[in-house]
Structure 1
Amino acid sequence: MQRTVYGPEHEAFAEALRAFLTNEVVPHMAEWEDAGAVPRNLYRQVAKIGVTGIQVPAEYGGAGERSFLFNCVVTEQIAYARATLGALRVHTDVVMPYVMSYATAEQKARWLPGMAAGELMSAIAMTEPGTGSDLAGMATTARRTDEGWVLNGAKTFISGGSQAELIVVVARTSRPEDRRGGLSLLVVEEGMPGFARGKNLKKLGLLTQDTSELFFDDVLVPHANLLGEEGKAFQYLASNLAQERLSIAVNAQAQAVAALEVTLAYVKQRSVFGKPLAGFQNTKFVLADLETQVTAGQVLVDRALADHEAGALSAPDAAKVKLFCTEMQGRLVDACLQLHGGYGYVREYDICRLYADARVTRIYGGTSEVMKSIIAKSMGL
């Protein structure tokens, strides 16, 4: 079905991105996967074509775009190229909105130019060992002193954690009766005494995205690095969840499209028992079903994007689109790998990477079970 969510300006941006990905990223994917991260300089390269500063105001060196659609163009083109660009999307789609919304004028002048230029990459540290989705149950604390906040604790599964120069840390700064209160956002900068990074975690997929543990041992964070108001972190995080989940859905949908494309090409050239694999009725029926599922996912994503642009995307609707697209992606990549046979289990084939990368989309940004709870609550259940 024809897509109408994008205009000519988005198509022109997509074309520039395709050229960059084809020439500068795709040929190096295997090398970067072996290294467990993209080269740090890659973020400076993508900054030159405007990716890292899409929504940063022009006075800070960015493009000043208010629309989230340009971010989605980036997400889709990376997926269509069967590539990953480290923790780029965490920087642009997750962390940047907090800085744009809650930073003071002084903080914006200090951080945004570097963030737009790819010189200051960012990560957000929420998850802790043993807490999972229970954000309010975190054990990391920050104690106010005359000199600043004394931060202690540990975080895990931090995307971009080993390369980021700015880490937005969620810490407990007080203990009110409502356990969702008393959480604050503190920006830890590279080189602060007491801040240490653990080794990169070895994951099933997303091999070019560095994911690490972070440790804070009496880290003195200046008062000037408190992001937003003290005690309002839970509220801030909740306000961006719809966009974050939409971003995950866009990525899942685009990766599903990519998986179907590589599989369609494979079955047309692969012969079995002297006959093209595409000629078997089972192959045709499986791919027809997958094409229908992908079409449904695209319609849902595009409607959610339109609602988000209009400021009307609700938390339950964002949960629906994430749930549907990530679960559909999981079913689709499994079926596509099956059609590849044994070759699908070999990493040099794109479907293997797409299969491994797909698994986490049903976990991060809120598990499928959390999405179902949100949807059920909106139904009065």
Structure 2
Amino acid sequence: MTQPSLYFNETHDMLRQQLRRFVQREVLPHGETWEKDGMVPRAVLRRMGELGFLGIRHPESHGGSGLDTLASVVLAEELGRSSFGGFAITVLVHTDMASPHLANAGIAEQLARYMPDIVAGKAITAVAITEPDAGSDVAGMRTRARPDGDDWVIDGTKMFITNGVHADLYFVAARTDPDARGSRGITIFIVEKGMAGFRVGRALDKMGWRSSDTAELVFEGCRVPKANILGAENRGFYAVMQNFQNERTVLGAQALGEADKALEMTLAYVRERRAFGAPLWDKQAIRQRLALRQAEVAAARQLVYHAAWLDARGQDCVKEVSMVKALCGELVNRVMYDCQQFHGGFGYMREAAIERMVRDARVQAIGGGATEVMLEEIAKRI
């Protein structure tokens, strides 16, 4: 598929081609095994690091490529097209949702210590913000951190943390000013696996994204050196909000890739599958519904690309990104519903890729900002 030159340059196009080859050769033959194992092997992530895929947004001084938001969209779209949503989100949390906190706010010593291994895939990252009673409502956070000598001591629980079981580095948000209200008084800490007082409470069993590990994290008197504060003390909420725009754009692009792949698969299926003496494609109701979904995906694609283009230029795009997240999260589920429907009984079988893709897509309207939250963000700006 040729991309519009308004948004993408030769570097973006080359990245897309490289990613598509990687998915074809190193993901598709093994994805089902990863689904059963509940994780993406570390060797695969290291291979992605070797190929430069894990550092496309990070500084060249630390082994990255220093590319823009549009490069992240290319990455997310192509990983989404793999049809393995769990694999895609494992990578995207590392590249675009967790490690950017270090890239954006890390001081020189922190960047030098952690970034090379992050880019190489030797240290996998997770971001721990969501709690049992505070998901999209970041201001409702209850995890606390208090100073004690040369350390901070963290107490609390984080929930639904992608990469939570197998990550090496966690960027953990905690309330550090007990008197501050709402979104104020939150700080982000770098927590390393193995630090005293930090443990994985349990691995969570999910409906979809089966090859992505998801965890409950428990902090019970977890001691973190003061040198591990990331960014300014009590300003963590603003860092979270800053990266939400990139995160939600990437999630929209992932959903877009998933929808595009599902339509491609379904078009091939209905042209081969015969019923009542003719291919399903000959049924007007089916081909018109698929035509409509193609049109909707094409329109959503332009919105995703435009939002990424605005973000790459440093322009205020909260409204556009919120539209991306709401629209793509809902659209991918409509597309999957129809694609599974037109696969008939086969589409309900676990051996059918579309069955897995339906389960994976459901969370796109929930995670990273539920549709209802995104619609409120849009409403505030119209």
**What TM-score results when the alignment is normalised by the length of structure 2?**
0.95
Matched, 1:355 2:337: no
User: 1:157 and 1:331 mapped to 2: Cα distance?
Assistant: 25
Counterpart position of 1:40? 42
- What is the identity, as a one-letter code, of the residue corresponding to 2:79? I
Amino acid of the structure 2 residue aligned with 1:195 = F
2:58 aligned residue:
56
Asked whether the 8 Å contact 1:319–1:375 carries over to 2, the reply is: yes
1:74 paired residue number = 75
Match of 2:172 in 1: 169
Aligned to 1:236: 239
1:281 aligns with 2:284: yes
3-state SS of paired residue (2:191): strand
Q: Which runs of 5+ in 2 are unaligned?
A: none
**1:328-351, Cα deviation, whole Å (9 max, x unpaired):** 111111011111111111222221
Superposed CA deviations along residues 233-268 of structure 1, whole A, max 9, x for unmatched, are 111111121111111111111111111100000101
Q: Which one of 136, 146, 150 corresponds to residue 147 of structure 1?
A: 150
Q: Which has the higher contact order (CA 8 A, sep 6+)?
A: 2
The superposition leaves residues 146-183 of structure 1 with CA deviations (integer Å, 9 ceiling, x where unpaired) of 12001111111000001110001110111234321111
Instruction: Give CA deviations for 1:172-204 in whole Å, capped at 9, x if unaligned.
Output: 111234321111001110111111113321111
For residues 101-116 of structure 1, the aligned pairs below 5 Å read 101-116=104-119
Give the equivalent residue in structure 2 for 1:23: 25
**Separation in structure 2 between the aligned mates of residue 267 and residue 8 of structure 1, nearest angstrom:** 35
Which residue in the other structure is 2:378 paired with?
A: 375
Aligned counterpart for 1:219 among listed residues 215, 222, 230: 222
User: Distance between the aligned counterparts of 1:317 and 1:19, measured in 2?
Assistant: 31
State whether residues 262 and 350 of structure 1, in contact with CA within 8 Å, keep that contact through their aligned partners in structure 2.
no
User: Could you list the per-position Cα deviations for residues 241-300 of structure 1 after superposition, in whole angstroms to 9, with x for gaps in the alignment?
Assistant: 111111111111111111110000010110112211111111111111111111111121
Q: Which sits farther off after the overlay, 330-339 or 170-179?
A: 170-179
Note if contact 1:127-1:158 (Cα within 8 Å) is conserved in structure 2.
Answer: yes
Q: Percent identity?
A: 38
Alpha-carbon separation, structure 1, partners of 2:59 and 2:375: 37
Output the CA distance in 1 between the equivalents of 2:205 and 2:242: 31
2:144 and 2:155 in contact (8 A); partners too: yes
Is the 1:175–1:181 Cα contact (8 Å) retained in structure 2? no
RMSD of the TM alignment (CA)?
Answer: 1.4
| TM-score for both structures, normalised by structure 1 | 0.96
Asked if the contact 1:334–1:355 (Cα under 8 Å) also holds between the matched residues in 2, the reply is: yes
How far apart, CA to CA, are the structure 1 residues paired with 2:261 and 2:15?
A: 19
Aligned to 2:123: 120
More displaced, 18-27 or 334-343? Answer: 18-27
Q: CA deviation at 1:377?
A: 1.2
Structure 1 runs (4+) greater than 3 angstroms displaced: none
In the comparison of the two structures, how many residue pairs are matched?
Answer: 378
Match of 2:295 in 1: 292
Asked if structure 1 preserves the Cα contact closer than 8 Å seen for 2:251 and 2:364, the reply is yes
Secondary structure at the residue paired with 1:52? Answer: helix
- Any stretches of 5+ residues in structure 1 without a counterpart? none
Q: Secondary structure at the match of 2:314?
A: coil
Moved more, 150-159 or 323-332: 323-332
Cα displacement (A) at 1:3? 2.6
Letter in structure 1 aligned against 2:311: H
> What is the distance in 1 between the residues matched to 2:272 and 2:328?
29
Deviates more, 1:94-103 or 1:203-212: 94-103
1:197-220 CA-partner distances (Å, limit 9, x unpaired)? 133211111111110111111111
Q: Shift in Å at residue 66 of structure 1? A: 3.4
Query: Residues 304 and 313 of structure 1 are in contact (CA less than 8 Å); yes or no, is this contact kept in structure 2?
Result: no
How far did residue 130 of structure 1 move? Answer: 2.5
1:271 paired with 2:274, answer yes
